[in-house]
Amino acid sequence: MHDIKLIRDNPKVLDNGLERRNLPPQAAEVVKLDAERRAIQTQLQEMLARRNELSKQIGYMKRSGGDATELTEEVAKLKTLVPALEDEELVAAEKIDKLLSTLPNVPADDVPYGKDEKANLELRKVGEPRRMNSAKEHYDIGEKLKLMDFDNAAKMSGARFTILKGQLAQLERALGNFMLDVHTRDFGYTEISPPLMVRPEMMFGTGQFPKFSDDQFSTYAGYASIPTAVAKNWANDGDIRVAPPLWLIPTAEVPLTNIVYDSIVEAESLPYRFVARTPCFRAEAGAAGRDTRGMIRQHQFYKVELVSITTPEQSNAEHDRMTDAAETILKKLEIPFRTVLLCTGDIGFSAKKTYDIEAWLPGQNAYREISSCSNCGDFQARRMKARFRAKGDKNTQFLHTLNGSGVAVGRALIAVLENYQQDDGSVLIPSALKPYMGGLEKITL
């Protein structure tokens, strides 16, 4: 959410940001709607002030036994005007709120301009891709080992689901455990086991709502009082008050960040660092036909997520620190990767600046995203009403929030399979994972 005062004083900042994101300018419209709302508000407030004044006088007259008829009549006249103006004010406020809530964050100044991912800036490459004779893709490796079952998963749940078995299921668990240990032990993150279903307000707070509700799964069970028709249409007016009651999280970023929803924290206690391994649920509505084979893009996958809550002064350094934590996972797994700075056309709705970490996948002969670390500045904090108070300061300020995958477990599994595959179809276990696999050296048929 944007600071309306900032837009009012300096509309260029918003429009430049939108332009850099390849979106049309909106500041003029925002300023216009804001002016309209304030004009109505001022008019209404003058009327209410007069009403309050008269009511006070009436009370005084009645107590002292005077005649208040004349005053009562004047208030009655005012009363016919107030409701209409109140309605106007509500409509005007909703108009501007609706527009503001759909505008993305302004990219940081050091984010390069670009139309799409082709303009992303490669910052560094770590590790040399291993030479292989004929690299297989992860699904071939998994199916050959008979430990990855797409057919039965489709029977149960449809496309974009996978059944992992035996040592592959164990590998998935091992990866998550390993990542949690690194982040808690080496980087000071506090492990959290959060709810996987959240209220719509939380989804608004982190920026999924109202714009990206199509990508989310909602739940109704136990809440039959919500009419389905209303629930289905709620997104049309974007009013979260009539949204379905609980939503499956698309990432642990949602519950971890919303820990500070509607709160005021002490500056000295910052930064907060939270880590969680959770399932993530995504409708993948806009991704029809993309990555249909294998488990690259699923409706459900595990991810280890990092979230930091900081003061404005801390957030840039924290962003680098978080990215380092995510990179450390791949370094320890000895999986080649590169880190790119996303261009303005590729960063997410809530982000000011984002680093993507892409793991090398020999089977695809390409780098594929395995982590995304974003600094959201105060954008989410405004939506969440998440503030802090500096010691001795009367006023509150909005927090800064950051989130990053540390890393996506499902894709890490793919990366391990493809990078550690052997010509005979077996897969070596990365040495960092051996303790988590009971000392197992490799997975064979």
Give yes or no for residue 394 binding RNA (CB under 7 A).
Answer: yes
Q: Residue 259 or 440: which CB sits closer to RNA? A: 259
Q: How many CB atoms lie within 10 A of CB 428?
A: 16
- Per the document, the length of the chain is 445
Give yes or no for residue 53 binding RNA (CB under 7 A).
Answer: yes
Q: Residue 3 or 19: which CB sits closer to RNA? A: 3
Give yes or no for residue 95 binding RNA (CB under 7 A).
Answer: no
Binding-residue pattern over the window 232 to 251 for RNA, x denoting contact by CB under 7 A: ---------x---x------
Burial of 163 (0-12, 13-18, 19+ CB in 10 A): middle
The Cα–Cα gap between 401 and 271 comes to: 10
Give yes or no for residue 54 binding RNA (CB under 7 A).
Answer: yes
Please identify which residue in 24, 67, 69, 76 interacts with RNA, judged by CB under 7 A: 76
**Size of interface with RNA, in residues (CB under 7 A):** 37
Q: Residue 199 or 211: which CB sits closer to RNA? A: 199
Give yes or no for residue 225 binding RNA (CB under 7 A).
Answer: yes
Q: Residue 139 or 272: which CB sits closer to RNA? A: 272
Give the DSSP per-residue string, 307-338.
EEEE-TTTHHHHHHHHHHHHHHHHHHHT--EE
Q: Residue 4 or 428: which CB sits closer to RNA? A: 4
The half-sphere exposure of 314 on its side-chain side, counting CA atoms within 13 A, is 19
Q: Among 377, 337, 332, 331, which Cα is nearest to 354's? A: 377
Give yes or no for residue 48 binding RNA (CB under 7 A).
Answer: yes
Provide the minimum distance between the beta carbon of 357 and RNA in the complex, in angstroms, as a whole number: 35
Identify whether the C-beta of residue 421 lies closer than 8 Å to the C-beta of residue 427: yes
DSSP lists the bridge partners of residue 403 as: 307, 374
Give yes or no for residue 392 binding RNA (CB under 7 A).
Answer: yes
- The interface region with RNA, picked from 40-48, 252-260, 336-344, 351-359 by CB under 7 A, is 40-48
Q: How many CB atoms lie within 10 A of CB 317?
A: 11
Q: Residue 263 or 292: which CB sits closer to RNA? A: 263
438 CB contacts (<8 Å, ≥6 apart)?
A: none
Give yes or no for residue 45 binding RNA (CB under 7 A).
Answer: yes
Burial of 112 (0-12, 13-18, 19+ CB in 10 A): middle
Give yes or no for residue 101 binding RNA (CB under 7 A).
Answer: no
Q: 3-class DSSP state for residue 235?
A: helix
Give yes or no for residue 91 binding RNA (CB under 7 A).
Answer: no
Binding-residue pattern over the window 175 to 214 for RNA, x denoting contact by CB under 7 A: ----------------------------------------
The Cα–Cα gap between 165 and 171 comes to: 10
- The interface region with RNA, picked from 18-26, 152-160, 186-194, 394-402 by CB under 7 A, is 394-402
Q: Among 417, 129, 425, 167, which Cα is nearest to 294's? A: 417
Q: Among 22, 24, 122, which Cα is nearest to 342's? A: 122
The Cα–Cα gap between 149 and 151 comes to: 6
- The interface region with RNA, picked from 54-62, 181-189, 284-292, 364-372 by CB under 7 A, is 54-62
- The interface region with RNA, picked from 43-51, 190-198, 279-287, 408-416 by CB under 7 A, is 43-51
Provide the minimum distance between the beta carbon of 428 and RNA in the complex, in angstroms, as a whole number: 37
Identify whether the C-beta of residue 314 lies closer than 8 Å to the C-beta of residue 320: no
Please identify which residue in 121, 264, 287, 366 interacts with RNA, judged by CB under 7 A: 264
Site of interaction with RNA (CB under 7 A)? 4-5, 38, 41-42, 44-45, 48-49, 51-56, 58-59, 62-63, 72, 75-76, 79, 83, 90, 222-225, 241, 245, 264, 391-392, 394-396
